[in-house]
Amino acid sequence: MLGNFTYCNPTKLYFGEEALGGLDAELAKVGANVVLIYGGGSIKKSGLYDEVLGKLQRAGKNVAEISGVMPNPTLDKLYEGIEIARAHKADFLLAVGGGSVCDYAKAVAVSVHCDEDPWEKYFARFEEPDCEILPVGCVLTLAGTGSEMNAGSVITNTRTHQKVGHVFLDEMVMPRFAILNPRYTMTLPHYQMVAGIYDIFNHICEQYFSGTDDNTSDYIAEALMRSLIVSSRAANKNPQDYEARSNIMWTATWALNTLIAKGKSTDWMVHMLGQAVGAYTNATHGMTLAAVSLPYYRHIMPYGVAKFRRFAVNVWNVDAEGKTDEAVALEGLKAMEGWMRELGLAMNITELGATAEMIEKLADATFILKGGYKVLDRDEIVSIFKAAL
Amino acid sequence: MLGNFTYCNPTKLYFGEEALGGLDAELAKVGANVVLIYGGGSIKKSGLYDEVLGKLQRAGKNVAEISGVMPNPTLDKLYEGIEIARAHKADFLLAVGGGSVCDYAKAVAVSVHCDEDPWEKYFARFEEPDCEILPVGCVLTLAGTGSEMNAGSVITNTRTHQKVGHVFLDEMVMPRFAILNPRYTMTLPHYQMVAGIYDIFNHICEQYFSGTDDNTSDYIAEALMRSLIVSSRAANKNPQDYEARSNIMWTATWALNTLIAKGKSTDWMVHMLGQAVGAYTNATHGMTLAAVSLPYYRHIMPYGVAKFRRFAVNVWNVDAEGKTDEAVALEGLKAMEGWMRELGLAMNITELGATAEMIEKLADATFILKGGYKVLDRDEIVSIFKAAL
């Protein structure tokens, strides 16, 4: 744990099959004007909408709604939500859905009392809020993004073709509470479940594959990966396995709530590559990450061979005896590939709709970060995308 | 992650060599009347006292002091502190020291505005506070107890010969912030350093050696143990190794801030056995745990062989091939014993001053908990203490 850092994460988590019971106590702490935020309406089919609305009504709240929040929430949708929240004089925002709905609620929360344009302030200039921040609560229906316990928000500007994430420093942007009932995630189609699992795994990799010091955070990262490998295999075999789905949900939260990045550098280049693919194919986020991961990791492995060797041994139980570090490292990536194929993840960008003709544009759209084992140049990005075809 | 639970830990951590800088922002958030709480005066020798007092004065605080908080804070000392805090109309309590000072500050915090006797209410009836709780901040000078990020407090009643710990459920009992500068721990004598390291290790074991489900918390527990084994060996070789001391400090905090107990049962019998030894020998807490651990774990291993096998493989890298589960489990405990001897821990209760004649009294003083792999009866406790002689 080198360097100086702070850690603060006040989000209260209610976990388990009875987690929604925690909503009553939380509603008692907030004002009367509540905006309920959700996505495409799957919560109406599942009955969760009625349950939550019943609790809001019994708590005497005045409820307005923002519905139809899309998987990649747009700036226009954000403007719409700000107007609804302002007109309702919102005291509290309740997000019911996945990471997108939660991300969106946080963006509304920092914008309602902000005089400036939220895109310019938060997603172009990356400033911190200097206005009142509305409190957000979250009832999570899918595991993956970790948005339920962090201060991140991703908004897409369809005019400029930019999808921009901002991780706010102010812990008041984090949800005040999150309701985590693993049963809510069980109605998800298999494709979405495994895409979410890979999103979780890659969040951990992005924070793990950087730095050369001995750091407790890396040990915790390995633990989360080991747990996720076991529970993802069980869930892949039987999506109704509650124990597996609960471990996946808990791992997702801790994979991206700032803990495993403490005291160390991080990478995040797989997300940059994957988001470029997403921008041109509209493919599911977790699948874009899966499709570019192995070409990227095989490319940078020689620059961080000690860490990739450690990954092979500590995460994939590769027997290192009598082998070169590089051979062990490659065996680890091979084991990871095997697991990815088992789950049925996208193994190349072609199956997501990308073509050889797109590659220059994908490379243009890839933002280069500098925390990984090798700072990529444009030629390397092109060659990684080619290897990912 | 089976069952229902909540997680909430709002303590803000400032970590690193410049961590004390965070005190200024925190002091700005609290009222003017501050009680500074510390132990035997080592912070005066190190200069930390002057640094902290300077910050308090520059922040315009009115400072009263409670000094001389002992390693096992007594009820009489608690009564004294409550009077000082009441007379000072304290708005905020600043603990500067180790876990005892922090434990003590929390006990004062829940007692100042409490009309009842704090021993009766909190340490005999284990009730939650229903009065105003004073905010506590902590500048930590040794790594071990985890008190800086939890709601636990241990007080010793010298009249009834009881040392009682209460882990409050209300997260408002947790320190608002903790300053964690690994350099502050470097002046500690070797004996105290390794006792603290074993205290940390055993906190993890107590939460790990219970339950039979596949639980993410157990993977995180293994990660913390793996990190601690590496960093403790480095610190044992060179106590001035900042990286090692920083990993130890961070591991201590996460070993006992409720995270790794989430969704699972826990044991805590080593603490019950060790505290009985401590009550009759006044030996250092971590050393009493070390002296009884292996006899206890060897005794219960047959009842939880799968977990002890897992411990051997995942924590100690024991090669399991071709061996019975029990043989692997024993090899793990052997590896743990080797590490304990390396550090120079107490390996039996005789060297701590216990005698064969004391054993019946030690058994009487041992509180039996029911979360471990085997609920002990009195004969088993006697035989564990005999094996620990």
Query: For residue range A146-204, what is the model confidence (pLDDT) as tens digits?
Result: 999 999 999 998 888 788 899 999 999 999 999 999 999 999 999 999 999 999 999 99
Residue with tokens 């999506």: A239
Same domain for A164 and A194, yes or no, is no
Looking at A153, A184, A215, which one is the last position of a domain? A184
Instruction: Determine the distance in angstroms separating the CA of B11 from the nearest CA of chain A, rounded to an integer.
Output: 6
Instruction: Determine the distance in angstroms separating the CA of B231 from the nearest CA of chain A, rounded to an integer.
Output: 8
B70 part of a folded domain:
yes
B240 part of a folded domain:
yes
State how far the Cα of B34 lies from the Cα of B64, in Å rounded to an integer.
6
Predicted pLDDT at A288: 97
What is the pLDDT averaged over residues B325-344? 98
Contact B250 A8 (CB under 8 A): no
Contact residues for A145 (Cβ-Cβ < 8 A; gap 6+): A98, A99, A100, A102, A103, A199, A252, A256
Of A219, A249, A263, the CB nearest to B224: A219
Instruction: Determine the distance in angstroms separating the CA of A209 from the nearest CA of chain B, rounded to an integer.
Output: 17
- Residue pair B243/B250 in contact (Cβ under 8 Å)? The answer is no
Predicted pLDDT at A95: 98
pTM: 0.97
Q: What is the CATH number of the domain that holds B111?
A: 3.40.50.1970
Looking at A150, A184, A218, which one is the last position of a domain? A184
- With CA atoms as reference, the chain B residue closest to A220 would be B223
Same domain for A27 and A146, yes or no, is yes
Query: For residue range B91-107, what is the model confidence (pLDDT) as tens digits?
Result: 999 999 999 999 999 99
State the amino acid at position A304 in one-letter form: G
Same domain for A28 and A60, yes or no, is yes
Contact B6 A18 (CB under 8 A): no
Looking at B169, B184, B199, which one is the last position of a domain? B184
State how far the Cα of B226 lies from the Cα of B135, in Å rounded to an integer.
34
| Residue B70 in tokens | 């002992």
Same domain for A206 and A147, yes or no, is no
Of B4, B213, B231, the CB nearest to A17: B4
A7 part of a folded domain:
no
B274 part of a folded domain:
yes
Instruction: Determine the distance in angstroms separating the CA of A22 from the nearest CA of chain B, rounded to an integer.
Output: 9
B2 part of a folded domain:
no
| Residue A57 in tokens | 């009504």
How big is the A-B interface in CB pairs under 8 Å?
A: 135
Other CB atoms within a 10 A radius of the CB of residue B360 amount to 12
Q: Buried b vs exposed e over B257-294: b needs ≥16 C-beta within 10 Å?
A: bbbbbbbbbbbbbbbbbbbbbbbbbebbbbbbbbbbbb
Contact B247 A11 (CB under 8 A): no
State the amino acid at position A87 in one-letter form: A
- With CA atoms as reference, the chain A residue closest to B227 would be A216
Query: For residue range B161-203, what is the model confidence (pLDDT) as tens digits?
Result: 788 899 999 999 999 999 999 999 999 999 999 999 999 999 9
Instruction: Determine the distance in angstroms separating the CA of A76 from the nearest CA of chain B, rounded to an integer.
Output: 34
Task: Kindly list the residues from chain B whose CB atom is less than 8 angstroms away from the CB atom of residue A249.
Answer: 1
Q: What is the CATH number of the domain that holds B361?
A: 1.20.1090.10
Task: Kindly list the residues from chain A whose CB atom is less than 8 angstroms away from the CB atom of residue B230.
Answer: 214
Contact residues for A239 (Cβ-Cβ < 8 A; gap 6+): A186, A190, A193, A245
B253 part of a folded domain:
yes
Same domain for A299 and A354, yes or no, is yes
| Residue A260 in tokens | 């495993």
Task: Kindly list the residues from chain B whose CB atom is less than 8 angstroms away from the CB atom of residue A224.
Answer: 216, 219-220
Contact A242 B2 (CB under 8 A): yes
pLDDT band for B279, please (50, 70, 90 cuts): confident
Domain carrying residue A264: 190-387
Q: What one-character DSSP code corresponds to residue B74?
A: B
Chosen from B18, B201, B227 to mutate, greatest number of chain A CBs within 10 A:
B227
Strand ranges (E), B16-86: 33-38, 62-66
Contact residues for A47 (Cβ-Cβ < 8 A; gap 6+): none
Predicted pLDDT at B158: 87
Same domain for B289 and B340, yes or no, is yes
Contact A227 B246 (CB under 8 A): no
Same domain for B146 and B228, yes or no, is no
ipTM: 0.96
Same domain for A197 and A257, yes or no, is yes
User: Looking at the predicted structure, is the pLDDT value of residue B214 above 80?
Assistant: yes
B79 part of a folded domain:
yes
B7 part of a folded domain:
no
Q: Would you give the distance in Å from CA A54 to the centre of its chain? A: 29
Contact B5 A16 (CB under 8 A): yes
The number of domains in chain B is 2
Same domain for A357 and A246, yes or no, is yes
Same domain for B288 and B374, yes or no, is yes
Same domain for A209 and A175, yes or no, is no
Q: Pick from A144, A188, A140, A149: which is nearest to A286 by CA?
A: A144
Same domain for B121 and B194, yes or no, is no
Query: For residue range B100-138, what is the model confidence (pLDDT) as tens digits?
Result: 999 999 999 999 999 999 999 999 999 999 999 999 999
Predicted pLDDT at B143: 92
